[in-house]
Amino acid sequence: MQTEVFSELFPLMSTASPQTLEWLLDVVIEHEYPAGRAVLMEDSWGNAVYFVVSGWVKVRRTVGEDSVAVAVLGRGDFFGEMAILDESPRSTDVIALSTVKLLSIARERFIQILFKDPQLHHRMLQMMVRRLRYVNVRLQMRSSPPAVKLAHTLVSLGESYGQESQKGKEIFHIPFKDLADVTEIGVEETAKIMEKLHSKGWIKIDSAANMVTLVNFKQLMNLAGKI
């Protein structure tokens, strides 16, 4: 992978110096996992940060005897940074939702890079603050109607990871249980709302291709209160 491609693919790397990008590409390790495979396990010690080259993963937390998805990440995002920065066991699992290709950088090397490149260090702080802001928005929306909350989740996924096509933004067809967990609504509610959005033509669900196309993105944004 060329440094320009690496920088464009991962927003975290957009401000990194050419020297940093070259150094990173020299030390990254490539991984590929099938759907359903655990990439990281809760309570394991953080020894690397991971970057999603392609595919989708869910971040989940164990709650009693059940597991709950707390986030869905796609192409261009990263995970594992918190465990390596505070030197503590991971608090969540990461599971492949689809076939996923990843790059990993060992903890020691990544911390060295952060010290060497202040721009990258600052950019990482910005990305982590952005995630905290998103969590705050989700907390503020807890009293919103289920359809509004689900539209907000779909819009956020589309903005972050959607692939543009002639029909709209394409995202992975996330299992309704995981979509419901992330949105903090019921599974049955999720299924009903998704079917209604599909019948209205705002989204197109293609189960065979494991894809959901956000056809009327403006209407979804309006429903989510983002306009």
Write the CA distances from 53 to 27, 32, 156, integer angstroms. Answer: 16, 10, 19
| Paired tokens of 46 | 């953080």
Question: In the predicted model, what is the mean pLDDT of the chain?
Answer: 91
Instruction: Give the CA angle between residues 8, 126, 100 to the nearest 5°.
Output: 45
Please give the model's pTM, rounded to 2 decimal places: 0.90
Write out the H or E segment, with its range, that includes residue 202.
Answer: none
Placement of tokens 């396990």 in the chain = 41
At 127-161, the pLDDT tens digits run: 989 988 988 988 888 899 999 999 999 999 999 99
Give the 3-state secondary structure of residue 84.
helix
Provide the pLDDT confidence category of residue 219 given band limits of 50, 70 and 90: very high
Domains of the chain (ranges, CATH numbers): 3-139 (2.60.120.10), 143-224 (1.10.10.10)
| Paired tokens of 148 | 């509004």
Provide the pLDDT confidence category of residue 44 given band limits of 50, 70 and 90: low
Which residues 6+ apart lie within 8 Å of 181 measured at CB? 60, 68, 69, 70
CA distance 86 to 24: 21
Instruction: Give the CA angle between residues 114, 43, 175 to the nearest 5°.
Output: 95
pLDDT for residue 148: 96
Selection from 79, 105, 103, 110 nearest residue 92 by Cα:
79
pLDDT at 91 over 80: no
By 3-state DSSP, what share of the chain in percent is helix, strand and coil, each rounded to 5?
45, 25, 25
* Lowest mean pLDDT across 15-19, 86-90, 120-124, 217-221: 86-90
Q: Collect contacts of 121-126 with beta carbons under 8 A, ≥24 apart.
A: 122/15, 123/12, 123/13, 123/14, 123/15, 123/16, 124/12, 124/81
| DSSP assigned state of 14 | T
At 12-26, the pLDDT tens digits run: 999 999 999 999 999
Q: What mean pLDDT comes out for the span 177-200?
A: 97
pLDDT for residue 43: 57
- Which is it for the CA torsion 193, 194, 199, 203, positive or negative? positive
